[in-house]
Amino acid sequence: MAPPPTMSVAEAMRLRLVETPQLSIAVEEHGPETGLPMILLHGFPYSARCYDGLLPHLAGHRLLVPHLRGYGQTRLKPGMPRSGAQGALGADLLALMDALAIPSAILAGYDWGGRAACVVAALHPARCAGLLSCTGYNIQDIARANEPQPPEREMRHWYQFYLHGERGARGLAQNRAAFCRLLWSLWSPAWRFTEVDFAASAAHFDNPDFVEVVLHSYRHRFGLVPGDPAHDGIEAALAQLPPITVPTLDLHGAADGVNPPPAQPSPRFTGRFERRLLPGVGHNPPQEAPAAFARALLDLA
């Protein structure tokens, strides 16, 4: 049942801390505790709050919204590398499903969250009943990451190059909210988010691992730093750019300021595939177009 109109998202949500080998993962749960779950994964620099607007559209469905490593109330355990690599994100998602005894789920996400979903869909297709991936095939081709790209594309990735150096590291640490707010504006130029919207997500950036995990993510994807050795096998498999065979919807913001939709979808989707372009929507489809995002999830269910 949908929560009463007077009930806030926080009141309707159940927060669970799930222990995995590397993390204590905070998971926001909505709906029944049985049935095929939909796991909704946020990106950088966003938070679980991006999915609040979907709840009225998905009443009666089992929804799990994890806080990714480095965000919100999720905590890396002592001694664990503060990795933000794609192998780590995929391993976290798989470990979460194992800990909750979830054999299969609809996996949905964008940016980092979309990457985690793509990793599990590609390497463990039996665990993915359907994939909703914004910006398409989100597995990184690290071996070719240092090949020059067209200048217009390089310009959009200025923040990644900034974070490669120590000046960027200090800048992120000192100005994390301002830095992330700027990216929200650049990546979704038509989205008029409120200060209340941003503040709700910015609170999740106060995680003690946020800066280290973000820096590692944007350095590892260019081959500048090693990953967590525990995920070497995953990274080796991802280096082959494996196909994604599960039913997939690619929900892509037509006004995405960092990853505009390419002329053609990736050929690495080899199963049933559909791309839907969202006019006027930027890099954060679930928060900018919650009804369209929810519709796509229901079409996969």
Q: What is the mean pLDDT of each run of 10 residues along the chain (301 residues)?
A: 46 88 98 96 98 96 98 97 98 98 98 98 98 96 95 96 98 98 98 97 98 98 98 98 98 97 94 97 98 98 90
| pLDDT at position 5 | 47
Of 18, 63, 70, nearest in space to 44 by CA? 70
Of 85, 89, 76, 88, nearest in space to 117 by CA? 89
Whole-angstrom Cα distance, residue 289 to residue 294?
9
| pLDDT at position 8 | 52
Average per-residue pLDDT in the chain?
95
Whole-angstrom Cα distance, residue 193 to residue 190?
9
Whole-angstrom Cα distance, residue 234 to residue 74?
22
Identify the structural domains of the chain with CATH numbers, from first to last: 9-300 (3.40.50.1820)
Cβ neighbors of 234 (< 8 A, separation 6 or more) are: 87, 90, 91, 119, 123
- Residue pair 257/283 in contact by the 8 Å Cβ criterion: yes
Whole-angstrom Cα distance, residue 262 to residue 236?
26
pTM for the full model?
0.95
- Give the CA distances from residue 60 to residues 34, 54, 56, 65, 68, in Å, rounded to whole numbers and listed in that order: 10, 12, 10, 15, 24
Find the angle CA(269)-CA(219)-CA(106) to the nearest 5 degrees: 35
